[in-house]
Amino acid sequence: MKTTFLFLVVLSAFSFFSANAESRPDFIPPTPPVSKLIANYTVADVMGIISTDVDQIPANHPFIIDKEYSKSIKKNWAGAKISTNIDVMMQIVLDAPEVAELESPLKRQINGAWANVAYFIYNIMDIPDSDKVDAILRTVNGQTDSSKKFYAINFARMQFANFLDPRLLALELPNLDDATIHTHIYRAAETRPPESYSARSLSKRIILGELSDVMEIDRTPFEVADEAAACAALKAWWTANLPLITTKCAEKKASPNWVRRSFFGKPWDVKW
């Protein structure tokens, strides 16, 4: 039985205006200078400024003037209307160094950077949701390194609840065929023994959990003792019911009671 660690990309909820900034990791671009106009920003500049503690930015910085922050970028940066900038922003994080330890500082830094990518997508990019999803999926499909593709898929799949686009959740479907056993090691403070589970059982829980917020599902065919059969049944059900899933997602998103989840960026110390 193969045992490994399952590294899930978790978007931590950091406060964008936190006073507890930390030293900036090397893979995060520097803060753009006061003299550089927002209109001339690159994607790296945007990542650099939204990753900077606002308390450390000079009052005459274009990002700070009138306390508009991300609004100033959305209004003054033509790149906010160019969908491929999402590809570039995601790639900045995907090209970060490999994570060796689950609880390493680098792991937390990468999680924070992914939070900034989400902040960028939802609060700065001024394009239709369908174009945003296209860009996310394009980035996923463009990865040739298996590790980078794994992290790109995790980020993409976790955007399903905010976009309600079945294409994002469908990224979990191939895992329904994966019987690989993973072991989750809890933090020492949690005093719980390691938990083992198959990749396909986790994907089944993810898919059903996400869809249960959108529509009523009879889970009986997917709760049989034979795990492989249960996962195969779910995969077949998805294919047969994709039109219904798509309709239910659109209905929920159009509901006046639906609220998109908020994302907050992770600030680090200023770095010129």
Lowest model confidence (mean pLDDT) among 10-14, 164-168, 173-177, 209-213: 10-14
Residue pointed to by tokens 């006061």: 34
Instruction: Assess whether 11 and 101 both reside in one domain.
Output: yes
Instruction: Assess whether 48 and 150 both reside in one domain.
Output: yes
Instruction: Assess whether 110 and 228 both reside in one domain.
Output: no
Per-residue pLDDT reduced to its tens digit, 76-134: 999 999 999 999 999 999 999 998 776 789 999 999 999 999 999 999 999 999 999 99
Compute the C-alpha angle 50/104/171, nearest 5°: 70
Selection from 159, 116, 170 nearest residue 135 by Cα: 159
Rounded CA-CA distance 144/248 in Å is: 33
Mean pLDDT in residue range 153-161: 97
Counting other chains too, the contacts that 193-196 makes at CB distance below 8 Å and 24 or more residues apart are: 196/3
Instruction: Assess whether 5 and 92 both reside in one domain.
Output: yes
Instruction: Assess whether 206 and 250 both reside in one domain.
Output: yes
Rounded CA-CA distance 145/92 in Å is: 14
pLDDT of residue 185: 62
Per-residue pLDDT reduced to its tens digit, 35-60: 999 999 999 999 999 999 999 999 99
Mean pLDDT in residue range 26-36: 98
Instruction: Assess whether 170 and 72 both reside in one domain.
Output: no
pLDDT of residue 62: 97
- Mean pLDDT estimate for the chain: 90
Compute the C-alpha angle 158/162/164, nearest 5°: 95
Q: 98: how many CB neighbours lie within 10 A of its CB?
A: 9
The residue range of the domain holding 217 is 165-256
Residue type, 264: F
pLDDT of residue 184: 65
- Can you give the pTM of this predicted structure? 0.88
Count of structural domains, the chain: 2
